[in-house]
Amino acid sequence: MEAIVIIPAYNEEKTIGHVLAPLKEVALVKQIIVVSDGSTDNTVPVAKSYGVEVVELSENRGKGGALKAGLDNFRADVVLFLDADLLGLTPKHVFNLLEPVINNEADMTIGLFEGGRIATDLAQKMAPYLSGQRAIKFSILEKISDLDIARFGVEVALNRFMESAAIRVREVVLNDMTHVMKEEKMGVWKGMAARMKMYWEIIKYLTRAYSIK
């Protein structure tokens, strides 16, 4: 099976290199795609300096829209989604996320932080299935019709499909890994506002999804 990696990125010039460098060392990864979700900083030139594919969106579509843009342009047997603000990502983490899906031992893997920082460890313990680090078969992604409208509720969309379709899921512990929190990137107040917007997008998606159901 061939695997590609899709990384949605919005103004992540400071961290995107920490994600791309270890990915370049993993033989299982055939192609790396960064989707710049309306970035206004140097995310695009930094990503291009690593020799990866870059999809540039002129306006911000949210995480779900960015992931859909990547899927519309590239395909493989297995797709690995990674956030662009990860710290501590290693080739071993990538291998551990991909291997169970490539070997058909699971249909999806979900990466869970452990031993990185207390704040991110605690957040994942409270809501483990909101993790953005996932490997999944492309054939399953094709069945999820509302991925792009989920915006920041994309993980919820994947979870909802996971439950309804009874697919095989394996949790993968990502030791010593964390990510930069919104409050650190944007300052406390702007970061909190961005976090509240993210939660609101998740609530809107859930309300819509379950009203249709």
Tell whether 95 is covered by a domain.
Answer: yes
Tell whether 83 is covered by a domain.
Answer: yes
Q: Are 128 and 113 in contact (CB under 8 A)?
A: no
Tell whether 203 is covered by a domain.
Answer: no
The distance of Cα 170 from the centroid of its chain, to the nearest Å, equals 16
Output phi, psi for 102, to 5 deg.
-60, -35
CA distances (Å), origin 53, targets 73, 84, 130? 10, 14, 26
Q: What is the pLDDT along the chain (213 residues), one digit of tens a residue?
A: 899 999 999 999 999 999 999 999 999 999 999 999 999 999 999 999 999 999 999 998 888 888 889 998 898 999 999 999 999 999 999 999 999 999 999 999 999 988 755 555 555 555 555 678 999 999 988 887 666 655 556 777 777 777 777 789 999 999 998 877 655 565 555 655 555 666 566 555 455 544 445
What does the pLDDT read at residue 212?
Answer: 45
Rounded to 5°, angle at Cα 63 from 60 and 66: 65
What does the pLDDT read at residue 89?
Answer: 96
User: Which range of residues forms the domain containing residue 133?
Assistant: 3-179
What does the pLDDT read at residue 124?
Answer: 55
Tell whether 140 is covered by a domain.
Answer: yes
> CA-CA distance, 152 to 119, in Å (whole number)?
20
Tell whether 118 is covered by a domain.
Answer: yes
What does the pLDDT read at residue 114?
Answer: 81
> CA-CA distance, 178 to 187, in Å (whole number)?
18
Maximal CA-CA distance, the chain: 45
H/E element, 33: strand 29-37
The number of domains in the chain is 1
CATH number at residue 88: 3.90.550.10
Q: Are 134 and 82 in contact (CB under 8 A)?
A: no
Tell whether 86 is covered by a domain.
Answer: yes
Tell whether 94 is covered by a domain.
Answer: yes
What DSSP assignment string belongs to 130-184? G---EEEEHHHHTT-TTTGGGGGGHHHHHHHHHHHHT--EEEEEEET-EE--HHH
Query: Helix or strand or coil: residue 10?
Result: coil
> CA-CA distance, 30 to 12, in Å (whole number)?
23
Query: Helix or strand or coil: residue 30?
Result: strand
